[in-house]
Amino acid sequence: MELNRRSFLAATGAAGTGALLGFLGLDLQPSVAYAADAKPRRGKIYTTICPYCGVGCGATVEVDEQTGKIVHIEGDADHPINEGALCSKGSSLFQIHDDPTNRRLRTVKHRKPGTGDWEELSWDQAIKMIAERIKKTRDETWVGQHNGQTVNHTSGIGCLGGAALDTEECYLLVKAMRAMGLVWIEHQARI
Ligand code: SF4
């Protein structure tokens, strides 16, 4: 058997369980055999990164290939950052996919200035609203020349990326922001 971190942890976990039960005077054999096989796999394993914060812990996602549904998510024991551990928030990753309480917000909520009520907007409405505000702010704050030098930028808009963005999304986001002339571009993982 090829020994990697995951199989090593599974094997030593089983051995530790067996040693404890033996100490308590119980018959070890069936328990050890069960413990070694106690993690049934129901699908294909994919690796991913927890989207919740800038620590960037690794997780494995188990997908039932018959149904295409995610059946399990846990910390990735092979990942150098978290070595299999997830914090309490990361441990709830599965709820992104499966939310029986249906408490996640799935639509855009907008509260107009001076009001106390939240109004539901479609994504089309929200994106149009954002685009109009970006255009207005950019036009009002555009600097073409500074101290005789062409700078072509706006310091009136900032962009803050979040941990849910992966490398490719960050790349595209920075390209888009630079193309609009932004200079204040940051990422949550750095602050
Ligand atoms: S598991 Fe916790 S610490 Fe790790 S990235 Fe997710 S939220 Fe951050």
Neighbour count for residue 14 (Cβ, 10 Å): 19
- The overall average pLDDT reported for the chain is 84
Instruction: Answer whether 57 contacts ligand 1 (Cβ < 6 A).
Output: yes
Q: What CATH number is associated with residue 95? A: 2.20.25.90
Please report whether residue 111 resides in a domain: no
What residues make up the domain containing 11?
1-39
Residues 180, 169, single domain; the answer is yes
Compute the distance from residue 98 Cα to the ligand 1 centre, in Å: 19
Residue 29 confidence (pLDDT) above 80: no
- When pLDDT is averaged across residues 3-11 and rounded to a whole number, the result is 59
- The pLDDT score that the predictor gives to residue 54 is 79
pTM of the model as a whole: 0.58
Residues with Cβ < 8 Å from 189, sequence gap 6 or more? Answer: 54, 56, 163
Please report whether residue 110 resides in a domain: no
Closest approach atom of ligand 1 to CA 56: 5
Compute the distance from residue 128 Cα to the ligand 1 centre, in Å: 33
Instruction: Answer whether 53 contacts ligand 1 (Cβ < 6 A).
Output: yes
Residues 58, 29, single domain; the answer is no
- When pLDDT is averaged across residues 123-141 and rounded to a whole number, the result is 97
Residues with Cβ < 8 Å from 31, sequence gap 6 or more? Answer: 17, 18, 21
Residues 136, 162, single domain; the answer is yes
Residue 20 confidence (pLDDT) above 90: no
Please report whether residue 123 resides in a domain: no
- The pLDDT score that the predictor gives to residue 51 is 83
Residues 17, 45, single domain; the answer is no
Q: Cα–Cα distances in Å, from 102 out to 96, 99, 105, 106, 170?
A: 10, 5, 8, 9, 29
Residue 26 confidence (pLDDT) above 70: no
Pocket test for ligand 1, best of 47, 48, 49, 55 (most atoms within 8 A of CB): 55
Nearest CA owner, ligand 1 atom 8: 53
pLDDT in tens, 163-172: 778 789 989 9
Compute the distance from residue 47 Cα to the ligand 1 centre, in Å: 15
Instruction: Answer whether 183 contacts ligand 1 (Cβ < 6 A).
Output: no
CA terminus-to-terminus distance, the chain: 43
pLDDT in tens, 92-112: 999 888 888 888 888 999 999
Residues 152, 180, single domain; the answer is yes
- When pLDDT is averaged across residues 4-29 and rounded to a whole number, the result is 55
Neighbour count for residue 59 (Cβ, 10 Å): 22
Q: How far apart are CA 174 and CA 90, in angstroms?
A: 27
Residues 68, 19, single domain; the answer is no
Number of structural domains found in the chain? 3
Residues 3, 48, single domain; the answer is no
